[in-house]
Amino acid sequence: MLFNSFPFLWLVLITFFLYYLPRLSKYQIHILVASSLFFYAYNNPVLLILLLVSAGINILSSYYVVYGNQSNRKLNAILGVASNLVVLAFFKYSPLFSNTFLETGSSLSEFLINIPLPIGISFFTFQGISLVIDVFSQKYFKGEDIVPVSLITHAKQTLFFIAFFPQLIAGPIVKAHDFLPQINNKQLKDINWNGAFKNLVTGYFLKMVIADNLKDFTFWIAYPYFQQHSTVDLLTMLFGFSCQIFADFAGYSLIAIGLAQVFGYNLSLNFNFPYISSSFKDFWKRWHISLSSFLMEYLYFPLGGNRRGKYRTYINLMITMLLGGLWHGAAWSYAVWGGFHGVALALERFMSENSKESKNFFIIFLKRIMVFVFVTFAWLLFKLPEFSHVIAYIKAIYTNSSLNFDWTLCLNIFIYSLPVFIYHAIYLLKDKKYFVVFRKQEYLIYGLLLFLILTNSGSSGAFIYFQF
């Protein structure tokens, strides 16, 4: 069920009405759980079984870590994390295992290749891992704060945490110690209407007006269509896809955050204007923040982080980025994408240790361009997961310079990409004195965005990160 569909609109409206109905106030969690399960099962009811199995694993493992035999806490935590990883590996990486290690055409190979990829599995399994680790390390349940609850109560809260529909399919990835303390009765008067309105309008604008229009023009990046386009077209389309993937995913995240606010819950910021980054480290503090912080907290730090010497730091960094790349998809191209970013981070760290950071405006501007260009070219591995196609695309950039460029295509990409950079520029200029005019007229701007959503939305399409 897409966020930009009428069935979803009806689901939200009905859920909202029941959720804040005074007579049903004590059933608020039940209402959201029911809506979330309906949301997930809407297009493929069979996959609801997997979501419930995943939730069951985390309910039992986390419950017995806290309330079970304390001598078995570590064992229960290990089993819980391992079970989550097995579920994720089986459903997401079986085809990759088959294509890499098994003979093509064998019965086992065919079986593994045809295993369906459940939507959102990377997100809800990571949240399950967060829950098990958090209760084991007592980031949520702490000593005297532990109040015994029944398994049924714990199951209800855990299922709600994992299945909460605004962020179920594509995040932001929610950590247990951030979300569970928020579970309590919500009042209509406590809604942050201002924040919810701004997040929803901006999110739907980025998705429906920017990303959904750009997707029709960046479609030609696909193999073999790009071979017929000029160098200018190829570079422009790649630039457009960089704007599209940002608008698509940042748009989804803002919608999820806005919807959660409507129901009284605060989700963490997932994008913080990443295309103004002047370093790769800064980029990963701004892009998909919930994933990068998850990998930092639950992988990089446990590996030792930067506490075990310079060379071990580089190794930990590469392992984290390679696994972060593989998290995105069951293809080695995603690992290479993660490896590219890992190498960039490592080189940047090495250079920063041997030079002083410049505060010159021109140098910072050049760094921002360099980071954006690198990130943009790396997105080819998302759009073209086949290595041979990526190489062919890069080759075409050099060999197709004699072809005439499609000025209509390039102009449309420029027009629909421009708001992404205006969006980032507004953030950079927000503290300038002369920008006070914009702040006073911001609701006129949001009115314009609403008008464009209603009049200039592109054809509806699934969010890019649904495939992960």
What is the band of 144 on the pLDDT scale with cuts at 50, 70, 90?
A: very low
Residues 6+ apart with CB under 8 A from 454: none
Q: How far is CA 226 from CA 120, 221, 389, 427, in A?
A: 30, 5, 10, 34
The single residue of 154, 328, 341, 389 carrying the catalytic annotation is 328
Angle value at C-alpha 87, between 85 and 93, nearest 5 degrees: 85
Phi and psi at residue 191, in whole multiples of 5°?
-65, 135
The more confident residue out of 443 and 253 is 253
Average pLDDT over residues 85-106: 86
Which residue pairs from 327-330 have beta carbons closer than 8 angstroms and sit at least 24 positions apart in sequence?
A: 327/122, 327/126, 327/291, 327/468, 328/122, 328/382, 328/468, 329/385, 329/467, 329/468, 330/92, 330/93, 330/94, 330/95, 330/96, 330/117
The more confident residue out of 117 and 148 is 117
Q: How far is CA 105 from CA 94, 110, 116, 438, in A?
A: 15, 6, 18, 62
pLDDT attached to residue 88 = 92
What is the band of 99 on the pLDDT scale with cuts at 50, 70, 90?
A: confident
Show the tokens assigned to 12.
């939200």
Select from 227, 173, 234, 268 the least CA-distant residue to 465. 173
pLDDT tens digits, 239-248? 999 999 999 9
Residue 145 pLDDT greater than 60, yes or no: no
Asked if residue 420 lies in contact with residue 243, where contact means CB atoms within 8 angstroms, the answer is: yes
pLDDT attached to residue 404 = 87
pLDDT attached to residue 49 = 93
pLDDT attached to residue 143 = 45
Average pLDDT over residues 253-275: 95
pLDDT attached to residue 105 = 75
Q: How crowded is residue 100: how many other Cβ atoms within 10 Å of its Cβ?
A: 9
Residue 103 pLDDT greater than 80, yes or no: no
Show the tokens assigned to 43.
């297009």
Residue 438 pLDDT greater than 70, yes or no: no
Residue 295 pLDDT greater than 90, yes or no: yes
Residue 54 pLDDT greater than 70, yes or no: yes
The more confident residue out of 249 and 355 is 249
Question: 3-state secondary structure string, the chain?
Answer: CCCCCHHHHHHHHHHHHHHCCHHHHHHHHHHHHHHHHHHHHCCCHHHHHHHHHHHHHHHHHHHHHHHCCHHHHHHHHHHHHHHHHHHHHHHHHHHHHHHHHCCCCCHHHHHHHCCCCCCCHHHHHHHHHHHHHHHHCCCCCCHHHCCCCCHHHHHHHHHHHHHCHHHHCCCCCCCHHHHHHHCCCCCHHHCCHHHHHHHHHHHHHHHHHHHHHHHHHHHHHCCCHHHHCCHHHHHHHHHHHHHHHHHHHHHHHHHHHHHHHHCCCCCCCCCCCHHHCCCHHHHHHHCCHHHHHHHHHHHHHHHCCCCCCHHHHHHHHHHHHHHHHHHHCCCHHHHHHHHHHHHHHHHHHHHHHCCCCCCCHHHHHHHHHHHHHHHHHHCHHHHCCCHHHHHHHHHHHHHCCCCCCCHHHHHHHHHHHHHHHHHHHHHHHCCCHHHHHHHHCHHHHHHHHHHHHHHCCCCCCCCHHHHC
The more confident residue out of 148 and 317 is 317
Catalytic residue status for 328: yes
pLDDT tens digits, 398-410? 999 888 889 999 9
Q: How far is CA 323 from CA 80, 332, 429, in A?
A: 20, 11, 36
pLDDT tens digits, 65-94? 988 888 888 999 999 999 999 999 999 998
d(CA 203, CA 206): 5
Residue type, 45: P
